[in-house]
Amino acid sequence: MTDPSTRLLELLSLLQSGRSWPGAELAARLGTSPRTLRRDLDRLRELGYPVSSTRGPGGNYQLVAGRAMPPLLLTDDEAVATVVGLRIAALTQMGGAGDAAEGALRKLERVVPTRLRARIQALTSATETTSRATEALDLRTVQLLATAAHLRQDVRFDYTSRGGKHTERRVEPYRQVLFDRRWYLLGWDRDRADWRTYRIDRIGELTVPGTTFAPRELPADDPVSFVQDSTRFPHGRRGVVRFAAPVSVVSDRLIAEAGSLEAIDDTSCRYVTSVESWEWLSIILATVGVPYTIEAPPELIGYSRELADRIARAAGG
């Protein structure tokens, strides 16, 4: 018969898988009798692990949620994944969340077996994350928005635009998206009757009145893509350019980072982007060094003509 302590740990590991175990199967896995199994289950309950049981031949047993957080037994792979995940979570500048992740990380790192330390160090030292938030967030705001979205509850908040304008918004929240190192809320703006994205770090005075809404069909299959497009092309301001060269040629010469570059055919491609300055984009496009046609907007065409005139005059043309 196995050592009682070893058997108890193995039993706990099986129960923490989340499934409901028939008593006969548990006893067989542990190589013990049903009577000894029942005694081991009682010991777990005394230690604070809430194990539920159902009547029937042999009974069924399952670890359920209790009032307190009992110790967890992790496999080697689960321990490595948890430590690495907590290290990444600790990088986020979210009020309260980063501190909580740091605290949990310190507790785990003190008890991680020596045999796993090399694996953890290799994963963290060879991994870079670009998802670190650039603005500090309030954990309470994120939690309230997440709960409201899950329960389909309306929210109200003050919102500060990029230009510093303050407005009051009534929104049906749907998703929170981490994109380009910032957190965004995707929601239906009730006053504007349209989908909107909001920088969560610009949300203040958030309240949840308690009213609910009927869910709408999302504006895109992928909320991340919708947020990406809405942040890159705000209010439809975007430049569209057709290059008379393959994607492979243009991609090597185009230094602008934002935007998308897609092939039209083997000899041409289209570039779509949004920038703060059309004049700056006019200069960038000219430096690519291949023929191109500006398809939109008129502002970009106007700036490009002015730039061409200045260059011609400077060259004595």
Q: Read out DSSP for 110-155? A: HHS-HHHHHHHHHHHHT---S---SS-EEHHHHHHHHHHHHHTB-E
For 107-155, how does the pLDDT look when each residue is reduced to its tens digit (9 = 90+)?
677 667 777 777 777 666 655 555 555 556 677 888 889 889 989 999 9
pLDDT of residue 79: 76
Banded model confidence at residue 231, pLDDT cuts 50, 70, 90: low
8 A C-beta contact, residue 24 and residue 34: yes
pLDDT on residue 86: 72
Q: Are 172 and 198 in contact (CB under 8 A)?
A: no
Beta-carbon contacts of residue 157 (< 8 Å; ≥ 6 apart): 168, 169, 171, 203, 204, 205, 206, 207
Q: What pLDDT is stored for residue 180 in this prediction?
A: 67
Q: What is the mean pLDDT of residues 202-215?
A: 92
Tell me the CATH architecture of domain 137-219. Roll (2.30)
Q: Long-range contacts of range 224-230, CB-CB < 8 Å, 24 or more positions apart?
A: 224/177, 224/179, 226/186, 226/195, 226/197, 227/177, 227/179, 227/184, 227/186, 227/197, 228/179, 228/180, 230/196, 230/197
Q: How far is CA 71 from CA 14, 33, 53, 222, 233, in A?
A: 14, 26, 20, 37, 48
Which token pair is 234?
A: 């705000």
What is the mean predicted confidence (pLDDT) over 58-72? 68
Residue 97: pLDDT above 60?
A: no
Greater confidence, 70 or 212?
212
Amino acid at 116: L
Asked if residue 1 has pLDDT above 60, the reply is: no
pLDDT at 256: 60
93 has a pLDDT exceeding 70: no
Does 293 score more than 80 pLDDT? yes
Confidence of residue 291 (pLDDT cuts 50, 70, 90): very high
- Over the chain, what is the mean pLDDT? 79
Domain 4-63 of CATH type 1.10.10.10:
yes
| Maximum average pLDDT range among 92-101, 115-124, 165-174, 256-265 | 165-174
Mean pLDDT calculated for residue range 55-81: 70
Give tens-digit pLDDT for 22-39: 888 888 888 888 888 888
Q: How sure is the predictor about 69, in pLDDT bands with cuts at 50, 70 and 90? A: low
Q: By the 8 A CB rule, do 144 and 207 touch?
A: no
Q: Which of 8-22, 42-56, 68-82, 214-228 has the lowest mean pLDDT?
A: 68-82
Tokens of 224: 């991340």
The pLDDT confidence band at residue 189, using thresholds 50, 70 and 90, is: very high
Q: Higher-confidence residue: 194 or 131?
A: 194
Confidence bin at 242 (pLDDT 50/70/90)? very high
The predicted-structure confidence for 145-170, as pLDDT tens digits, reads as follows: 988 998 999 999 999 987 688 999 99
> Could you tell me the two tokens for 159?
């919102």
Of the candidate ranges 53-67, 90-104, 154-168, 280-294, the one whose mean pLDDT is the lowest? 90-104
Which of 3.90.1750, 3.30.70, 2.70.98, 3.30.1360 is the CATH number of 236-314? 3.30.70
Per-residue pLDDT at 95 exceeds 60: no
pLDDT for the residue 211: 93
